[in-house]
Chain A
Amino acid sequence: MLNQEMEMLCQTLQAGEFGDVMVVGGGISGIQAALDLGTAGFKVYLVDRAPTIGGHMAQLDKTFPSNDCSMCIESPKFVECNRHPNIEMMTYSEVEKVEGQAGAFKVTLLKKPRYIQEDKCTGCTVCVEYCPVTYPDQFNQEISRNKAIHIYFAQAIPLKPYIDQSCLYLKDNKCGICKSVCKTNAIDFNQTAEKVEVRVGAIILAPGFEPFDRRLRDDYHYGEYANVVTSMDYERLLCATGPYEGEILRASDGKHPRRIAWIQCVGSRRVTPGDNSYCSAVCCTYTQKQVILTKDHDAEARCAIFHNDIRAHGKDFERFFQRAEKLPDVRFIRGYASVARQDPQTRNVFVRYATPVQGVKEEEFDMVVLSVGLTPLAGHEKLADTFGIELNAHGFCQIEPFNPMRTSRPGVFVSGAFQGPVDIPESVMTASGAGSQCGQLLSYRRGKLARERVYPEERDVSQEEPRIGVYVCHCGANIGRIVNVPSTVAYALSLPGVVHAEENLFICSTEAAAMLAKDIKERGLNRVVVAACTPRTHEPLFRDTLREAGINQYYYDMANIREHCSWVHSKEKEAATAKAKDIIRMSVARARFLQPLREFDLPVDKRALVVGGGLAGLTAALSIAEQGHEVHLVEKDAQLGGMARRIKYTLEGADVQGYLRELIRRVHQNPLIHLYTKATVLEAKGYVGNFNTKVQSDRGVLEIRHGATVIAVGADVYSPSEYLYGQDQRVLTNLELEEKLAGGDQAVLGAESVVMIQCVGCRNQDRNYCSRICCGHSVKNALKLKELNPRASVYILFRDMRTYGFREDYYREASSQDVKFIRYQPEAPPRVEAMQEDGRSFLRISVKDHILDQDLAMDADLLALAAAVVPPAGAKEVSQMFKVSLGADGFFQEAHVKLRPVDFGAEGVYLCGAAHYPKHISESISQAYGAAGRVLTLLANETVVASGSVCAVDEHKCIGCQACAVACAFGAIEMAETKQGQKARVIPVLCKGDGLCNTKCPTGAIQLKHYTDEELLGQIKAGLRDRA
């Protein structure tokens, strides 16, 4: 009934602005949420108040700890959003009002005027060139200048300029040059802000954060001393698309700084007015990244980092820190530092800092970088009002302890850094997680508004002689000003197989695409070469045009005469024209050999398998089931709950056992969840959409068919061999202490003195990682001890306190309750002895205090060890069975550390919980929802499309040498027995199309389609012979 009503409603409203979900904020988190939901069958509005999507990630140079180029990994997602049939982007727009309730919101937006008619604008940027007004470029942190009319950044989506308020015409009705140079009459000064109403069922808030604004306080002299910059400024300085094209220069004299200082915790971990009490969680590692990159730029650079604790609590962060620390001329100096003064002549900056040995020192630097923290975005209070949600004490979104994506208003979810200071992978995880919960809420209307492209049937041209059409683009003036386009067209016509060639001002424009499609039909073209820009961004567009014109999309090739020619040879017009001809000739030669390829649709089994019945597995299973999919949940123990069974409450005080009981009850009651306890996975076969897994459990041995797999096998606790653990009953792990505290153990409650030792079993040679959760765990136990027995003395012996994010407040609270924190050095770990003195039995813990430079001894009734979190037993078997990888520390390895944190490299397999890396409960839950969201992007579809560019074997040529099969890490090649002996066979769905096997094959029997030897040799010959 509801369904029918819904369908009617959808039909009547289809013409208006009506969708399923609105994502507010187009940074990486919003982008991920939009893509997930769009792919999972919902119509999404993606709103950003900036002129483009991209957010802060677009401004970063590289991302830690892999030092991936930030823009390079993010910008393909822009294009994906742009082309997605179910995503509608509304940039330069702000939300004014939100009415209604979950399932039926009415959102009023204000679309700011760009003064450009987007449908007319081709993005040629001639207007930008002619604009006489410059103003500080916001994208470059106002270090360089840009024009009043400009494109926000080179990869912006939409790639159209907008006019800033600094425009002379807007200010004084003068100028208007842009209008007169625009060939398509796209400039419209009469545009005004436009009100738009959109109806959606759910909202995801992903508005991001703001870097801490040092201008609010003057003690670092930011804005006053030219050579004091923020870390965000420094990102732009490092970046090749930055103000100085990737050269790090000082604003005062344009010289390279040699001596650079970083001051950590600027705006964070302080309770002074204007500062923030919490830890921003990302600054330690981004600073290390900047240090590494600085040394890459200039090996002679001398770097000093003034820091408090080093918080390297993320996956691979510890190694990353070591990498930075080991670089020559890099000093990590622990201590409070401030900017003292600048030299008025040299404009060098003096940093004043305290050292334990030498007292207060001053040191001269060429540049000082302030490692600013993350703060709530400007206008967060208004935003909260608009959306009717509550904020926490820090001005971030108030979230539920066991569901960090849920706000105080039903139907409004939150992801990314509006939850609190988080890094990119967490922003991506929570985006997928918020997406999954929208799916739970709106499951009944999934697919109702989603569109799918319909293409005409393909004409079979494989038997025809090549009839190639060549289209050479001027790209406004980008190509045409350098390359003599008409002469390349004439040349193209002389090439064998070419039956038509022409030039076009913008071949990517919508009109040109229509013309191209018409040409294919009317001129009978069966191959198309477009000589224009890079295939990396534009190939999908033209392939799509071929499909629309009814020929196979693989009959297309792109000659890149812009990025690889006109732009890089701009002073050599003749040579550039000759090169453009060569590039076109190579493309034509290749086009002659192109073959039609079939992208195959694989059916998707709609069921999921979740391996692991801990908190993560339970959450993922329930979220998937509540979106209408059957789930097989496999748990190795007799009971569900995993490690969470041993945790009583969180640091924030939330009741874990109560939540767990409720969760398990819901799992038991959900008819779509099939539970297998005491279960082991015996065998896993198949591929994305079609897995077949054999499970032995208390139900016997069963074969389960499923389309998606979630690995949520959790982690184990290290069993310490140090500090008398296992020998003396008074030595416990943190978890054991928590259990005893909750159980009211008298020996524990009566303890007068309790010592805790951090980093037991990790951050050492055997386990070179930080277990992330132990600092918070110890603080939690310490606070509980103090609560139950205020007179107890509690000591925490630590290396770095890593209470990142809002956990910092509890660290401060413990300190104020007189919990003693004593730092120890790994070279001189604490020593523990069981003592008998004066008839009293106790544990004596001695440690060297480096500040006081003396040995301290504590007599304790109880010693708690922060035992490391270690990879789960059996991780290796699971990884091998499901063909997923483990990282260096033995935890499961995600597909991409930044942008695919819940996916595996193997398609259709997803990851969540502590199996990925040690995590707090709320983080495991976020990732579990994230995994469910990713699973739905697969299971919501009937089929999954596999690329046609895969390998194939000519069996006659195959000599069965297995070189290909050995080389293929995807396991896509199997050896088959035939009458003619062993032959290699490709399993196309597993082939990823890298073509490694092709080069291994001695006879050329195995060929990567679309990159065959014939095609490549054709290009090679054409590229060298008869050069124009």
Chain B
Amino acid sequence: MSSDSRFTPKILGIICNWCCYGGADLCGVSRFQYPPHIRLIRVMCSARADLRHIFEAFLNGADGMFVGGCHLDDCHYITHGNYEAISMVRLAGKLLEHIGVNPKRLRIEWVSAGEGIRFANIMNEFSAEIEKLGPLGKSEGFEGPALMPRIGTVANLIPYIKMSKRDKLALHLRDNPTAYDELYTQKEINQLLSEVPSFEIDKDKCQACMICLKKCPVDAIVGGKKLVHFISQDKCIKCGTCLAACPPRFGAIRKTSEVDPINCTAV
């Protein structure tokens, strides 16, 4: 839609009701100006911003993604959810970097409801940054939509990533919040994505008992009574519920390792 001469970035923001949204409101009340590139979504806590939201945003054509919350230790909830938000965003950043997306396209900031000017400053800076980077993929050296399948692959692995990084995602580094920047290493992400498990049903062992089929949270197992089951790999989220459910005397489910689903290494 935009003319070739001038790139208009598409930026999406997910911001918390209590602080950042209030800051954005005050920014408006104070008439501080910023470029009209961002579209904001209100959630109750920045911790509601999900890995999935970030990847879906990029899959749907976002050039930049913003998460905004209360200042650390100012969370409206006793959960201190903004610590969880920053951990999630740092993980997402490393994952993006791994598949070749410039992690600068994803940003998390704290804005209190009294900091209208801070919201405007951040919007100005971030917009300029994304404008400089150009459309998603351009500064990363990808032609056209070549990046999308990679983003899609990681998006599909989110349940597995959430399970694998569960403890780190819940870390509250209240004494040293800057440590989040180093919390996830590229090596760790390499390992995470090279150890993606895969579950398969050995058709010779399967007794078509329907136990795993019933328990699969995403209905990825196809089959029926007396109909040997198989796992639809498109739907499978690699949670391992089937493996745990399959009676040991049958032992029909195998866990194997997928070979590098991204098929790339860090750029």
Judge: A and B partners, yes or no: yes
B81 in contact with A996 (CB, 8 Å): yes
Number of residues from B at the complex interface, CB < 8 A = 70
Q: Which listed residue (A241, A563, A905) contacts B28, Cβ 8 A?
A: A563
B241 in contact with A959 (CB, 8 Å): yes
A1020 in contact with B57 (CB, 8 Å): yes
**A576 to B37 alpha-carbon distance, docked (Å):** 10
User: Is B251 an interface residue, CB under 8 A from the partner?
Assistant: no
User: Is B160 an interface residue, CB under 8 A from the partner?
Assistant: yes
Please, which residue of chain A has its CB at the minimum distance from the CB of B49?
A999
**A1024 to B61 alpha-carbon distance, docked (Å):** 6
**A582 to B8 alpha-carbon distance, docked (Å):** 14
User: Is A1002 an interface residue, CB under 8 A from the partner?
Assistant: yes
Number of residues from A at the complex interface, CB < 8 A = 74
B60 in contact with A1020 (CB, 8 Å): yes
A980 in contact with B117 (CB, 8 Å): no
* B21 cross-chain contacts in A, Cβ below 8 A: 534, 536
Partner-binding segment picked from B39-47, B139-147, B178-186, B190-198: B39-47
B120 in contact with A568 (CB, 8 Å): yes
**A995 to B44 alpha-carbon distance, docked (Å):** 7
B114 in contact with A240 (CB, 8 Å): yes
Nearest Cβ distance between residue B126 and chain A, in whole angstroms?
Answer: 14
A1023 in contact with B44 (CB, 8 Å): no
B117 in contact with A568 (CB, 8 Å): no
**A582 to B27 alpha-carbon distance, docked (Å):** 20
Please, which residue of chain B has its CB at the minimum distance from the CB of A247?
B117
Nearest Cβ distance between residue A616 and chain B, in whole angstroms?
Answer: 24
User: Is B132 an interface residue, CB under 8 A from the partner?
Assistant: no
Given contacts A69-B113, A885-B78, contact A1002 B84 (CB under 8 A): no
Nearest Cβ distance between residue B161 and chain A, in whole angstroms?
Answer: 8
CB-CB contacts of A958-979 with B at 8 A, as 1s and 0s?
1101010011111000000000
Please, which residue of chain A has its CB at the minimum distance from the CB of B31?
A567
CB-CB contacts of B44-70 with A at 8 A, as 1s and 0s?
110111111100110011100000000
Please, which residue of chain A has its CB at the minimum distance from the CB of B58?
A1024
Given contacts A996-B48, A1021-B60, contact A245 B84 (CB under 8 A): no
Please, which residue of chain A has its CB at the minimum distance from the CB of B57?
A1020
Given contacts A998-B48, A999-B50, contact A245 B30 (CB under 8 A): yes
Nearest Cβ distance between residue A232 and chain B, in whole angstroms?
Answer: 18
**A968 to B170 alpha-carbon distance, docked (Å):** 11
Nearest Cβ distance between residue B3 and chain A, in whole angstroms?
Answer: 13
User: Is A825 an interface residue, CB under 8 A from the partner?
Assistant: no
A1024 in contact with B62 (CB, 8 Å): yes
Given contacts A62-B114, A241-B30, contact A1017 B53 (CB under 8 A): yes
A372-395: which have CB < 8 Å to B? Answer: none
User: Is B22 an interface residue, CB under 8 A from the partner?
Assistant: yes
A956 in contact with B12 (CB, 8 Å): no
B30 in contact with A1020 (CB, 8 Å): no
* A563 cross-chain contacts in B, Cβ below 8 A: 24-25, 27-29
B45 in contact with A995 (CB, 8 Å): yes
Please, which residue of chain A has its CB at the minimum distance from the CB of B218?
A1003
* B162 cross-chain contacts in A, Cβ below 8 A: 963, 1000-1002
Most buried by A among B25, B47, B57: B25
A1027 in contact with B10 (CB, 8 Å): yes
B47 in contact with A69 (CB, 8 Å): no
* A259 cross-chain contacts in B, Cβ below 8 A: none
A582 in contact with B39 (CB, 8 Å): yes
A1023 in contact with B117 (CB, 8 Å): no
* A565 cross-chain contacts in B, Cβ below 8 A: 36
Q: Which listed residue (A72, A957, A1008, A1019) contacts B22, Cβ 8 A?
A: A72
Nearest Cβ distance between residue A242 and chain B, in whole angstroms?
Answer: 10
**A998 to B214 alpha-carbon distance, docked (Å):** 23
User: Is A583 an interface residue, CB under 8 A from the partner?
Assistant: yes
Given contacts A999-B47, A1002-B160, A1024-B12, contact A564 B28 (CB under 8 A): yes
User: Is A171 an interface residue, CB under 8 A from the partner?
Assistant: no
Nearest Cβ distance between residue A995 and chain B, in whole angstroms?
Answer: 4
Q: Which listed residue (A564, A576, A994, A1003) contacts B45, Cβ 8 A?
A: A994
* B41 cross-chain contacts in A, Cβ below 8 A: 586, 1016, 1019-1020, 1023
* A579 cross-chain contacts in B, Cβ below 8 A: 36, 39
A536 in contact with B25 (CB, 8 Å): yes
A556-571: which have CB < 8 Å to B? Answer: 560, 562-565, 567-571
A1002 in contact with B163 (CB, 8 Å): yes
CB-CB contacts of A513-551 with B at 8 A, as 1s and 0s?
000000000000000000000111000000000000000
Nearest Cβ distance between residue B122 and chain A, in whole angstroms?
Answer: 13
User: Is B116 an interface residue, CB under 8 A from the partner?
Assistant: yes
CB-CB contacts of A49-73 with B at 8 A, as 1s and 0s?
0000000000001100010111110
**A1025 to B47 alpha-carbon distance, docked (Å):** 25
B149-203: which have CB < 8 Å to A? Answer: 158-160, 162-163, 166, 169-170
B47 in contact with A995 (CB, 8 Å): yes
* A885 cross-chain contacts in B, Cβ below 8 A: 78
Q: Which listed residue (B27, B28, B47) contacts A994, Cβ 8 A?
A: B47
User: Is B32 an interface residue, CB under 8 A from the partner?
Assistant: yes
* B108 cross-chain contacts in A, Cβ below 8 A: none
User: Is A341 an interface residue, CB under 8 A from the partner?
Assistant: no
Nearest Cβ distance between residue B123 and chain A, in whole angstroms?
Answer: 8
User: Is A575 an interface residue, CB under 8 A from the partner?
Assistant: yes
Given contacts A1013-B52, A1020-B57, contact A980 B166 (CB under 8 A): no
- Contacts between the two chains (Cβ within 8 Å), count: 199
B56 in contact with A992 (CB, 8 Å): no
**A993 to B17 alpha-carbon distance, docked (Å):** 12
Nearest Cβ distance between residue A575 and chain B, in whole angstroms?
Answer: 4
Given contacts A154-B29, A568-B120, A1000-B170, contact A961 B163 (CB under 8 A): yes
Please, which residue of chain A has its CB at the minimum distance from the CB of B170?
A967
User: Is A223 an interface residue, CB under 8 A from the partner?
Assistant: no
B34 in contact with A1021 (CB, 8 Å): no
Q: Which listed residue (B40, B60, B112, B159) contacts A564, Cβ 8 A?
A: B40
**A886 to B84 alpha-carbon distance, docked (Å):** 22
Please, which residue of chain B has its CB at the minimum distance from the CB of A954?
B217
B117 in contact with A1016 (CB, 8 Å): no
* B35 cross-chain contacts in A, Cβ below 8 A: 569
* B210 cross-chain contacts in A, Cβ below 8 A: none
A967 in contact with B84 (CB, 8 Å): yes
Given contacts A583-B39, A586-B41, A999-B50, contact A1024 B79 (CB under 8 A): no
B30 in contact with A240 (CB, 8 Å): yes
Given contacts A1002-B162, A1025-B60, contact A240 B50 (CB under 8 A): no
User: Is A675 an interface residue, CB under 8 A from the partner?
Assistant: no
**A169 to B112 alpha-carbon distance, docked (Å):** 42
* B116 cross-chain contacts in A, Cβ below 8 A: 240
Given contacts A72-B113, A994-B47, A994-B81, contact A568 B33 (CB under 8 A): yes
**A359 to B28 alpha-carbon distance, docked (Å):** 52
**A246 to B52 alpha-carbon distance, docked (Å):** 38
User: Is A572 an interface residue, CB under 8 A from the partner?
Assistant: yes
User: Is A663 an interface residue, CB under 8 A from the partner?
Assistant: no
**A622 to B77 alpha-carbon distance, docked (Å):** 33
A996 in contact with B47 (CB, 8 Å): yes
Q: Which listed residue (A246, A956, A966, A1023) contacts B217, Cβ 8 A?
A: A956
Q: List 23 A-B contacts (CB under 8 A).
A: A68-B74, A69-B115, A246-B117, A535-B42, A536-B21, A560-B40, A568-B33, A575-B36, A576-B36, A583-B39, A966-B170, A967-B79, A969-B80, A994-B44, A996-B84, A999-B49, A1000-B84, A1000-B166, A1002-B162, A1003-B239, A1008-B44, A1008-B48, A1024-B12
Other contacts beyond A572-B36, A1020-B41: 13, CB < 8 A:
A560-B40, A562-B28, A564-B25, A569-B33, A578-B36, A579-B36, A885-B78, A996-B47, A996-B77, A1000-B170, A1005-B217, A1021-B56, A1024-B10
Give me the 5 closest cross-chain CB pairs, A-B, nearest first: A69-B114, A563-B28, A995-B48, A72-B113, A1002-B159
Which chain B residues have a beta carbon within 8 Å of chain A's beta carbons?
Answer: 1, 10, 12, 14, 17, 21-22, 24-36, 39-45, 47-53, 56-57, 60-62, 74, 76-81, 84, 88, 112-117, 120, 158-160, 162-163, 166, 169-170, 214-215, 217-218, 237, 239, 241
